[in-house]
Amino acid sequence: MAVTIMDHPLIHHKLGIMRRKATSTKEFRDLVSEVAMLICYEATRKLPLTDIEIETPLVKTIAKEIEGKKLCIVPILRAGLHMADGILNLIPNAKVGHVGLYRNEETLEPVEYFCKLPSDAAEREIFVVDPMLATGGSAVAAIDILKKRGITKFHFLCLIAAPEGVDRLTKAHPDIDIYIGNLDERLNENGYILPGLGDAGDRIYGTK
Ligand SMILES: O=P(O)(O)OC[C@H]1O[C@H](OP(=O)(O)OP(=O)(O)O)[C@H](O)[C@@H]1O
Ligand SMILES: O=c1cc[nH]c(=O)[nH]1
Ligand SMILES: [Mg+2]
């Protein structure tokens, strides 16, 4: 298990635009996909490669391709959907599963409402994606759900995390790799990340 905090100028710059309250819904949504792609670049660094023989216009040679290609992206609904869209630009043949969770506004605990996975999900390497890791309740619940369905190989990708969420996720699931766009300061009394960017789902879909 490893926690990787991305420290990259492009990610800092794009998150800075996303955090501004004046940023439009369209711009925010596009940036979710872009930052997800940048984090995915790092999260896929250790994927195993295999040699294959190919022909260039000049000669036969040995090229490399991703071994097995057994990948699956699992966005946590709703806000994870646009991260998945971005990642599919890089890994267009990945399968996609969906886990639907929302936070109860009073208890802050996640409520499950949907789960649909590829039939061979248990054989796949899974990339769970959600822009916000706040209390960590949603990420822990999503991985609980996926583990019950036989999945064993996980990466969790988020744009912004609070230390409280990282702590809860690493304690509940010490076996997964976590990739974080930026580690923010803390949670406020309503469970929102500070400085954060507000409610990611509402900002992606314009629902507030
Ligand atoms: O770490 P936690 O404290 O669980 O909070 C993070 C969760 O909250 C947000 O989803 P939300 O419940 O607002 O649902 P939505 O994506 O449908 O807006 C976010 O996208 C995470 O799933
Ligand atoms: O800051 C937060 C915390 C939870 N969910 C969000 O969308 N934003
Ligand atoms: Mg939301």
Ligand 2 atom nearest 201 alpha carbon: 7
On the question of pLDDT at 186 being above 80, the answer is yes
Atom of ligand 2 nearest to the CA of 202: 7
Question: ipTM greater than 0.95, yes or no?
Answer: yes
Give me the pLDDT at residue 1, please: 80
Structure tokens at 62: 């040995």
149 preceded by a cis bond (ω within 30 of 0): no
Per-residue pLDDT tens over the stretch 55-95: 999 999 999 999 877 999 999 999 999 999 999 999 999 99
Q: How far is CA 27 from CA 4, 95, 159, 203, 206, in A?
A: 26, 26, 15, 10, 11
Average pLDDT on 158-184 reads: 98
Residue 106 banded pLDDT, cuts 50, 70, 90: very high
Which residue owns the Cα nearest ligand 1 atom 11? 102
200 carries a ligand binding annotation? yes
Mean pLDDT value of segment 41-59: 96
For ligand 1, mutation pick of 83, 132, 159, 194 (most atoms within 8 Å of CB): 132
Pocket test for ligand 1, best of 102, 135, 197 (most atoms within 8 A of CB): 102
Q: 200 CB under 6 A from ligand 2?
A: yes
Answer for the pair 118, 95: CB distance below 8 angstroms, yes or no: yes
Backbone angles phi, psi at 137, to 5 degrees: -60, -45
Looking at residue 84, its pLDDT comes to: 98
The pLDDT score that the predictor gives to residue 69 is 74
In this prediction, residue 131 has a pLDDT band, given cuts at 50, 70 and 90, of: very high
Q: Which of 59, 91, 107, 62 is nearest to 155 (CA)?
A: 91
Calculate the average pLDDT of the chain: 96
- Give the pair of three-digit tokens for residue 185: 């300061």
Pocket around ligand 1: residues whose beta carbon is below 6 Å from it? 76-79, 101-103, 108, 110, 130-139, 165, 191, 199-201
| Per-residue pLDDT tens over the stretch 119-130 | 999 999 999 999
Q: Does pLDDT of 15 surpass 80?
A: yes
Structure pTM? 0.96
**Per-residue pLDDT at 157:** 98
Expressed in angstroms and rounded, the spacing between residue 102 Cα and the centre of ligand 1 is: 6
Q: How far apart are CA 186 and CA 206, in angstroms?
A: 25
